[in-house]
Structure 1
């Protein structure tokens, strides 16, 4: 599309359906265009600001076509999102409980092979768990668009209650550290605390990206 950023956003606004948060969508696309132009100029030294803008607008495509993506957007429900994330996160905790039970019920060190692998690759497991929250945000953003983006951190606190409760239990030794022999060390506990406090931000990042690339219905 040829034209200015303002013209692009004006056409986009005119074609967006009324049931979506139009102002939020326009604001996000305005930021996205600015960021994309900055990145384009950093990658190509011989392009002018106008050329970079035209490239970005061309990559985005027709604003009317973008707006049409929001017409078939699934109905939004905070309760639905809460339950989806609570169930998914509960599965991770159930897996952890099973892992502890398997460790305690094993009579020899050789039978604790799964626990030994968990201890050896605990940083990778934490990274994979953080990726789950990123992908969860991405999924919600692609499914519900910018309507959910503004409230994603509010949505996240209930599913993360288990994490916060467990974190406090470990910190105050309500949950005995002996249960996690080899897995929990003081440095790793602090890494887990920082990660736990960051999960909502990670999900928000994924949600924003998903909303900007909402799947056509």
Structure 2
């Protein structure tokens, strides 16, 4: 570490103050600067100004992290849990509307959706990637356990639905012509991919937050 980047990190450390994730924040920025210096050569005399240009002043960075503490992990966790539950509740209402009430608008939506099951699955996987990305971006290193807890809470409706279908508690005829052994296997495989995808999103968001 040169005198110029030492100055940058000393100022950053002072500005961050008693932030609960201070050491992790400094470590993330130090790693980012190290990788940057490995990729390109920056004159020592211009290093401090270059860091300020690319990362912001230590005061600006510290202000961002102080604002981050306003966003509580618990609120973020339950926001995503509620959104995921809302997706399933919406699907349940549509299923009931189509199979029990036979409303025309429900039939129209249903017939269009059953023609694009893979697209729906891909969009849902992207949603889980977005969950990880947002948590990584907002909480950085401190969001790892939050990501795990959010996943565990959010996955409950998925597991419950698979249980109800596999054990035929929900009539198979409600999901025809989609429901088949092959389709169930595909759903299980896609569900197994949700956690890895969310963690990839988390790591990406964490990297962007630096």
**Structure 2 length-normalised TM:** 0.72
Structure 1 residue aligned with 2:178: 183
Match of 1:114 in 2: 109
Could you give the per-residue CA deviations for residues 105-142 of structure 1, whole angstroms, max 9, x where no partner exists?
Answer: 46699973321211111111112222222333333444
Q: How does 1:30-49 map to 2 (within 5 A)?
A: 30-33=30-33, 49=40
Residues 111 and 153 of structure 1: CA distance in aligned 2, closer, same or farther (over 3 Å)? closer
Q: Within 2, Cα distance between the matches of 1:147 and 1:25?
A: 9
- Deviations for 1:143-163, whole angstroms, at most 9, x for unmatched residues? 444432343112321122111
Q: Mean alpha-carbon deviation: is it higher for 175-184 or for 104-113?
A: 104-113
Partner of 1:149: 144
**1:170 aligned onto 2:161:** no
Q: Which residue of 2 aligns with 1:17?
A: 17
8 A contact 2:81–2:150 mirrored in 1: no
| Unpaired stretches in structure 2, ≥5 consecutive residues | none
**Partner residue of 2:91?**
96
RMSD: 3.8
The CA deviation at 1:185 is: 3.4
Structure 1 residue 97, shift from structure 2 partner: 0.8
For structure 1, the residue ranges without an aligned partner over 5 or more in a row are 42-48
- Give the stretch that moved more between structures: 16-25 or 152-161: 16-25
Conserved 8 A contact 1:20-1:147: no
For the residues of structure 2 that align with 1:209 and 1:123, how far apart are their CA atoms? 24
Query: In structure 1, what is the equivalent of residue 126 of structure 2?
Result: 131
Q: Under a length normalisation based on structure 1, what TM-score does the superposition of the two structures give?
A: 0.70
| Worse overlay, 180-189 or 90-99 | 180-189
Report the count of equivalent residues: 204
